[in-house]
Amino acid sequence: MSEAPVLFHTLPAANGMQLGVATLNSEKTLNALSKEMVQLLGKQLQAWDKDESIAMLVLQAAGEKAFCAGGDLQNLYASMREHHASDKKDDLLGNAYALDFFEQEYRLDYQIHTYRKPILCWGHGIVMGGGIGLMAGASHRVVTEKSRLAMPEIAIGLFPDVGGTWFLNRMPGKLGLFLALTGANINASDAVFVKLADLQLPHESKAELLARLQACEWSKQVDNNRLSNHLRLSHILHEQQRSDKVISSAGPLRQHFDLINQLCSAADLTTIISNICQLDVSAMNDDAWLQKAVASLQKGSPTSAWLAHALQERGKHLSLAEIFRMELVAALACAQGHDFAEGIRALIVDKDQKPQWLPGSLDALQPQDGERYFAHLWAAEQHPLRDLGAGENIQKRAA
């Protein structure tokens, strides 16, 4: 197989149309999303959008372990170390690599959210962080029996970015806030429940599904009959699901829906975190999923918890484009600050699993500490993502 980090090919369909297939191809890194991968995907998606013979896209990954386990943190860490040691360490715009990486990643995510043609994302295995950023905007999102999804940024001093402020806010009840604070992983059933996926299929049915897609007669009128191919894809997916007789039981997130709502419904973050951390999981049949969620919050960055909550509060009524612009500033502030680099060091570089957060508790976080995450770094007409949102048209879920 080619060493290119993303592979592209086309499959012929019944009436002369084609399917465009993009394969994340960095199996050794669990297909972690690098800047090169972002650039390759963005360029190819643009080309396929203009190609009238391409009816729809398939976004998948090499290997059996992961669709995409997040972003390429090694290069970000190196850029942060260099920035922190420079005379520009107090400048939020001083890390050119971080600005370039986050801008391009968010631009790709937005491109997927607003893509004209159907995109089928096959989210098999681990789907975390930047992987969810790719998957969340696809018009048709499939998970399998091996899918495990999470936004675990609190463990590395970041926040659920890549549009997390958007899709976490749109989950039932307070589930989005709980997932942001705990980094808890969810299975296929829960992914469908919280609208991160549209349906579940067995991984072994993928070849059969692709054959169905190739046998379909797709519409050539992308603009004049925009929804027809979206509806065709939805119909094929549901036919496949009925053929496979998929029956899934409620996952732990759905099972604990009422409890989570109760824990996270307080008016202030301090009380919410106290409610979760004081939860007596030992009295609840030794629930391992809840225990892990509580432990992740207790070990995570207090600043990340504060920021995730603050972003969701500020983002409730913002458009997707506005949210990406807001997240870009917050991401640059994280790159300039202490916890993001420290979290990567402790979990990925030195692997001592002992991050030293600053500040070490939510109580020690001063109001002025949070201001830089929402600073006005550019005039509106100069923001790197200023062009997002022109004629915004988020895909309506037909699946």
Active site residues: 71, 130, 153, 161
- Could you write out the DSSP letters of every residue in 346-370? IIIIS--S----SSSSGGG--HHHH
From residue 35, give the alpha-carbon distance in Å to each of 23, 129, 213, 265, 382: 15, 15, 31, 38, 22
Residue type, 308: A
* Positive or negative: CA dihedral 190, 191, 194, 199: negative
On whether the CB atoms of residues 128 and 149 are closer than 8 A, the answer is yes
Q: Both tokens of residue 96? A: 């050119």
* Exposed / middle / buried, residue 366 (Cβ in 10 Å: 0-12, 13-18, 19+): exposed
| Sheet architecture: strand order including 126-128 | 66-68, 126-128, 148-150
Cα–Cα distance between 22 and 140 in angstroms, integer?
Answer: 15
| Sheet architecture: strand order including 140-143 | 6-12, 18-24, 54-61, 119-123, 140-143, 199-200
Residue type, 211: A
- Could you write out the DSSP letters of every residue in 102-128? HHHHHHHHHHHHT-SS-EEEEE-SEEE
Q: Both tokens of residue 249? A: 């039981």
Q: Which residue matches tokens 């949210």?
A: 323
Per-residue 3-state assignment (H helix, E strand, C coil) for 131-159: HHHHHHCCCEEEECCCCEEECCHHHCCCC
The alpha carbon of residue 302 and the mean position of all alpha carbons in its chain are separated, in whole angstroms, by 21
At residue 388's C-alpha, the angle toward residues 327 and 183, to 5°, is 30
CB atoms within 10 A of CB 397: 12
